[in-house]
Amino acid sequence: MGINLDKPHKWKQDIKKSIDMYNDWFMNFAPEFFRNTRLKTTEDVLNTLEKTNYYRNITSHLLANNPEILATLRMSTCPPIAVDRLIGLAGVNINLVKQIENNKRLPARMSKSDLNEELSKVCTIILKLLDKDIFPWLTNSREVDMLEANRASTIIADRLCGSFANPIIRNAQEKRQLSLIKTWLEKKGYKQLKENEKRTIDSLDAGTYAFHFNVQVKMDNSIGYVNIPVDVVIKPFNKKPVLIEAKSAGDFANVNKRRKEEAQKMSQLRNTYNDNISFILFLCGYFDSGYLGYEAAEGIDWIWEHSIDNLKYYTI
């Protein structure tokens, strides 16, 4: 018997409450968080300008030593270049660009000569497409006016935040949801595992929890075991471990695209641990009956953020 998966007569009312809660958060807190992020991003863009001598020194060597600036460089062109478009225009190694964009570092196994060649291609495209209307000092090779530099930093920061708007909001929501779970658990006597403490799900002490925990699961092929990340792992005092995925959504369109991810994760966990763990979702926002019905059919239960006390059924 579940908390919500087997109670479809309650879904419609909970969906309304969840949407109201998300909208309230968005209207009252998202603008401030977004402004703070834009301010920090503006500082990062200005640092990129300084590192590159205000875009007069964009080289493979500099990019190799500062891979984190690639996203800023992409947004400094006319038109701004998406990741896949940059890969196509430059004809470069897909893994190289994705590694830089996603992890802010270079691939570990690429030789220096190959790396230099690939990054040089990237720099060639960036230099060719730089938006000189934003960086007027590049047109006539004059000294940089700091008012112009600050204005350019703000423009590029707006482009970056615009392109990353949804991830920025999702990250803010995740931090808020995990903070709520942390507060609730610690009121019940739970303690958080130290970040540098290496544990498996089987070796967690009763009454502990951890965020962004890697759980080993069996694969159907010869690979053996692999790690899959889980947002929250809880080891109750007298119950089986609980794994939680914190999820929020600002519209109905995107949630159904990602529902298969939870189903796949549930399948891997069930294949490895049978019924010795509980896997649930922690939801806030726009999750419709189609999404809920799909998860219920996969045997995945959920707890609504507006009813967080239902965590007690899994942890107490």
Between 4-8, 219-223, 225-229, 311-315, the lowest mean confidence (pLDDT) is in 219-223
Query: Can you tell me the distance from the alpha carbon of 170 to that of 35, in angstroms, rounded to the nearest whole number?
Result: 15
91 Cβ contact list (under 8 Å, min separation 6): 121
**What's the pLDDT at 35?**
86
Does residue 136 lie in a domain region?
Answer: yes
Residue 210 sits in the same domain as residue 256:
yes
pLDDT tier at 102 (50, 70, 90 boundaries)?
confident
Residue 24 sits in the same domain as residue 171:
yes
Q: Number of structural domains, the chain?
A: 2
Q: What percent of the chain has pLDDT over 90?
A: 72
Tens-digit pLDDT profile for residues 257-314? 778 888 888 989 998 999 999 999 999 999 999 999 999 999 999 999 999 999 999 9
**What's the pLDDT at 47?**
96
Residue 219's region, left for phi above 0, alpha for psi from -120 to 50, else beta, is beta
Domain final residue, candidates 123, 147, 165: 165
| Domain of 270, in residue numbers | 8-29+166-315
pLDDT tier at 205 (50, 70, 90 boundaries)?
very high
**What's the pLDDT at 222?**
59
**What's the pLDDT at 164?**
77
Q: How confident is the model over 247-258, as a mean pLDDT?
A: 81
pLDDT tier at 246 (50, 70, 90 boundaries)?
very high
Does residue 2 lie in a domain region?
Answer: no
153 Cβ contact list (under 8 Å, min separation 6): 42, 43, 45, 46, 49
Instruction: List the structure tokens of 131.
Output: 């938006």
Does residue 1 lie in a domain region?
Answer: no
Q: Residue 190: give its domain's CATH number.
A: 3.40.1350
- Helix residue ranges, H only, 106-145: 112-129
Query: Can you tell me the distance from the alpha carbon of 226 to that of 216, in angstroms, rounded to the nearest whole number?
Result: 5
Residue 59 sits in the same domain as residue 179:
no
Mean pLDDT of the chain: 92
Residue 189 sits in the same domain as residue 243:
yes
Closest CA to 212 of 181, 239, 189, 186: 181
- Taken as a whole, the chain contains a residue count of 316
**What's the pLDDT at 221?**
62
Tens-digit pLDDT profile for residues 26-41? 999 888 888 888 899 9
**Confidence check: pLDDT of 226 > 90:** no
Which residue type is seen at 177?
A: Q
Q: How confident is the model over 105-122, as a mean pLDDT?
A: 91
Domain final residue, candidates 122, 148, 165: 165
Tens-digit pLDDT profile for residues 8-23? 999 999 999 999 999 9
Query: Can you tell me the distance from the alpha carbon of 171 to that of 41, in angstroms, rounded to the nearest whole number?
Result: 15
